[in-house]
Structure 1
Amino acid sequence: MVKWFTAILGYYLFRLPGAILGFLLGSFIDNLNSSGGGARTIFRDISRQQVSPADFELNLISLCSIVIKADGNVTQRELDYVRQYFVSTYGKEKANAIFRTFNEINKNREISAQRICTYLNQRTRYEVRLQLLHFLFSIAKADGSVSQFEIDKIREIAGYLRVALRDFESIKAMFIKSADNAYKILEIDKSATNEELKKAYRTMAKKYHPDRVNTQDEAIKKGAEEKFKQVQKAYEEIQAERGIG
Structure 2
Amino acid sequence: MIRWLTALLGYAFFRFPGAVIGFFLGELLDRMFTNKSGGSFERSMYSSRDKVSPADFELNLLSLASLVIKSDGSVSQQEMDYVRSYFVQAYGKERANATFRVFNEVINKREISAQRIGQLFRQRMRYESRLQVVHFLFSIANADGHVSSQELNMVQRIAGFMGIQSPDFSSIKAMFFKSADSAYKILEIERTATDTEIKKAYRTMAKKYHPDKLQHMDEAYRQGAEEKFRKVQEAYEQLQKERNF
- The TM tier, using the shorter chain, reads 0.7 to 0.9
Alignment of 1:61-140 (within 5 A): 61-140=62-141
C-alpha change, 1:221 and 1:51, in structure 2 (3 Å) is farther
Query: Do 1:51 and 1:120's aligned partners in 2 also have CA atoms closer than 8 Å?
Result: no
SS of the residue corresponding to residue 122 of structure 1 reads: helix
Give yes or no for the alignment of 1:220 onto 2:221. Answer: yes
Flag the 1:107–1:199 CA change in 2: closer, same or farther, 3 A: closer
1:62/1:111 contact within 8 Å kept:
yes
Output the CA distance in 2 between the equivalents of 1:243 and 1:87.
Answer: 44
Deviations 1:11-30 (A, max 9, x none): xxxxxxxxxxxxxxxxxxxx
Alignment partner, residue 199 of structure 2: 198
For 2:102 and 2:228, the matched residues in 1 are separated by: 29
- CA–CA distance in structure 1, aligned partners of residues 97 and 233 of structure 2: 35
Q: What letter corresponds to residue 166 of structure 1 in structure 2?
A: P
Deviation of the 1:162 alpha carbon: 0.6
Paired with 1:45 and 1:150, the residues of 2 have a C-alpha distance of: 29
Alignment of 1:141-156 (within 5 A): 141-156=142-157
Shift of 1:229: 1.0
Deviations 1:159-200 (A, max 9, x none): 100111111110000011112111110011111111100110
Contact 2:135 2:224 in 1 (8 A): yes
Contact 1:50-1:124 within 8 A present in 2 as well: no
CA drift at 1:111:
1.0
TM-score (norm 1): 0.77
User: Are 1:178 and 2:172 matched, yes or no?
Assistant: no
RMSD of equivalent CA atoms: 2.1
Give, in angstroms, the shift of residue 45 of structure 1: 4.7
**For residue 161 of structure 1, what is the amino acid of its counterpart?**
M
- 3-state SS of paired residue (1:187): coil
Q: Residues 107 and 82 of structure 1: is their aligned pair in 2 closer, same or farther, counting only changes over 3 Å?
A: closer
Q: Output the amino acid matched with 1:192.
A: A
d(CA) in 2 for partners of 1:171, 1:102: 28
Question: Which whole-Å CA distance do the structure 1 matches of 2:133 and 2:89 have between them?
Answer: 17
Aligned equivalents of 1:154, 1:86: Cα separation in 2: 19
- Structure 2 match to 1:4: none
In 1, the alpha carbon distance for the partners of 2:180 and 2:58 equals: 35
Shift in Å at residue 224 of structure 1?
1.1
Letter in 1 for 2:125: T
Contact kept in structure 2, 1:130 and 1:163, CA below 8 Å: yes
Moved more, 50-59 or 200-209: 50-59
Q: Cα deviation per residue 1:199-233 (whole Å; 9 max; x = unaligned)?
A: 10111111112232353444332211111111111
Structure 1 window deviating more from structure 2 (215-224 vs 168-177): it is 215-224
Asked whether the 8 Å contact 1:53–1:217 carries over to 2, the reply is: no
Task: Please give the alpha-carbon distance, in whole angstroms, between the structure 2 residues aligned to 1:67 and 1:163.
Answer: 17
